[in-house]
């Protein structure tokens, strides 16, 4: 009897610990915070960005330089800091939020502390100065590209005459490591100093792909923010795969096989630099074994379907909503969006009030695209 009581108390304690990191909808949440140096006198605004969109804001000052941003879901973010009335903004990232991160500490730049040779423009454009950060947080030389503008290198790498208004993708490379901060917003007559967290530890991502055609090569593509990071070619109906040298971040794995009109996108997967990500199982389909609700279209359009799955590929209970471009969102398990004209569309899934971005996906004619959506919530 006493053993049963202790087991009950232990279970209750574990449940309370789990719920402590969840919001009212059962979604696991995290906190990101840090302490800033170099702040001028007065107030500064900290803005947390995800894919260029503002997620949270906080106020700091030279007197109170620490910030805390709670209630965040796992994902990849960037932290922007702009002192009040300043034409200089500091952007730190990307930050891969897996667990709580209370020590996102960095220097904030002002017009008085801009790197030598970097000036605030006055011609209606914007300027970017990018540093890489090594594992000790020291600033190092970088190569940077802003959208399709000419690539620049240096310490810092400086890109001038960036058109505004409008967001731009910023890609930074140091020591062979590349990261992209998507949709960075720029405003006229400002300087953005980017501190790019490129030199991080890497791990492997591995698993298996099931139920492919027994013949022909299969291409696996590792995507991050819609940008190809790695590709692999495997063979057979149930091949294993391993992506090596993967930095911390959020990824999608795309599976395509010659002769198979059914494509699979698996993710998002959150990679933690502290440990290899293993045991992924990606279930796929062919035209011959599609579920009854699905069929390969023959009218020049595409069909999309989404399942909520665990990171091991197990389909979870309850429905999911799939949103493809401007088409009407559909809900189900699977959620099916028919009659998609060929092209590239932003795809988002929603479950338990959590929006899960799957990035920009290209749909080909007469194909079925299946999204195995790894849902970052407590399994219900």
Sign of CA dihedral 72, 77, 83, 85: negative
- CATH 3.40.50.2300 matches 22-196: no
Residues 6+ away with beta carbon under 8 Å from 63: none
Overall size of the chain counted in residues: 380
pLDDT at 7: 38
How many Å apart are CA 282 and CA 279, to the nearest integer? 10
Q: What are the backbone angles phi and psi of residue 216, rounded to the nearest 5°?
A: 90, 160
The DSSP call for residue 14 is: H
CA-closest candidate to residue 175, choices 202, 206, 147, 204: 202
Neighbour count for residue 127 (Cβ, 10 Å): 22
- With H, G, I as helix, E, B as strand and everything else as coil, classify residue 334: coil
Q: What are the backbone angles phi and psi of residue 11, rounded to the nearest 5°?
A: -60, -40
How many Å apart are CA 190 and CA 187, to the nearest integer? 6
Q: To which residue do tokens 């055609």 refer?
A: 213
pLDDT at 9: 39
**Pairing of β 43-50 and β 75-83:** antiparallel
Neighbour count for residue 217 (Cβ, 10 Å): 14
CA-closest candidate to residue 302, choices 325, 321, 283, 281: 325
- Whether pTM > 0.75 for this model: the answer is no
pLDDT at 4: 37
How many Å apart are CA 9 and CA 43, to the nearest integer? 47
pLDDT at 14: 38
pLDDT at 272: 77
pLDDT at 28: 62
C-alpha angle 91/96/100, rounded to 5°?
105
Domain boundaries, the chain: 22-196, 202-374
Mean pLDDT by 10 residues, the chain (380 residues): 37 41 58 92 96 94 94 91 96 84 88 94 96 81 92 95 91 87 94 86 84 85 79 88 82 91 92 83 89 92 93 84 94 94 93 84 94 68
pLDDT at 376: 63
Q: Do domains 22-196 and 202-374 have the same CATH topology?
A: yes
**Pairing of β 202-210 and β 277-283:** parallel
CATH architecture designation of domain 202-374? Sandwich (2.60)
Q: What are the backbone angles phi and psi of residue 319, rounded to the nearest 5°?
A: -85, 165
* Residue 23: Cβ-neighbour burial (10 angstroms; 0-12, 13-18, 19+): middle
């Amino acid at each position: 009897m006493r053993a049963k009581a202790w087991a009950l108390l232990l279970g209750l304690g574990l449940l309370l610990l789990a719920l402590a990191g969840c919001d009212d909808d059962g979604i696991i949440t995290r906190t990101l915070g840090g302490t800033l140096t170099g702040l001028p006198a007065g107030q500064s605004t900290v803005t947390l960005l995800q894919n260029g969109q503002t997620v949270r804001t906080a106020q700091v000052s030279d007197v109170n330089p620490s910030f805390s941003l709670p209630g965040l879901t796992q994902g990849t973010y960037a932290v922007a800091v702009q002192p009040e009335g300043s034409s200089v903004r500091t952007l730190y990232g990307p930050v891969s939020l897996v667990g709580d991160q209370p020590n996102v500490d960095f220097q904030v730049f002002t017009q008085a502390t801009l790197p030598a040779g970097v000036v605030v423009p006055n011609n209606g454009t914007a300027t970017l100065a990018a540093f890489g950060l090594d594992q000790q947080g020291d600033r190092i030389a970088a190569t940077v590209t802003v959208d399709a503008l000419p690539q620049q290198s240096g310490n810092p790498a400086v890109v001038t005459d960036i058109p505004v208004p409008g967001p731009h993708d910023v890609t930074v490379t140091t020591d062979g490591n590349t990261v992209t901060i998507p949709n960075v917003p720029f405003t006229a007559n400002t300087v953005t100093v980017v501190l790019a967290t490129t030199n991080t530890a890497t791990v492997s991502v591995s698993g298996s792909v099931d139920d492919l055609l027994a013949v022909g090569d299969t291409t696996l593509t590792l995507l991050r923010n819609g940008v190809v990071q790695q590709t692999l070619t495997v063979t057979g109906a149930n091949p294993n795969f391993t992506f090596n040298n993967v930095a911390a971040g959020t990824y999608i794995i795309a599976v395509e096989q010659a002769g198979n009109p059914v494509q699979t996108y698996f993710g998002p997967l959150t990679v933690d630099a502290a440990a290899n990500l293993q045991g992924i199982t990606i279930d796929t389909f062919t035209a011959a074994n599609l579920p009854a609700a699905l069929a390969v279209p023959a009218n020049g359009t595409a069909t999309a379907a989404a399942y909520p799955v665990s990171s091991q590929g197990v389909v979870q209970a309850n429905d999911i909503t799939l949103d493809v471009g401007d088409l009407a969102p559909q809900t189900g398990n699977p959620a099916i969006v028919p009659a998609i004209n060929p092209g590239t569309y932003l795809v988002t899934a929603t479950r338990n009030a959590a929006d899960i971005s799957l990035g920009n996906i290209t749909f080909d004619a007469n194909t079925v695209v299946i999204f195995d959506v790894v849902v970052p919530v407590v399994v219900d």
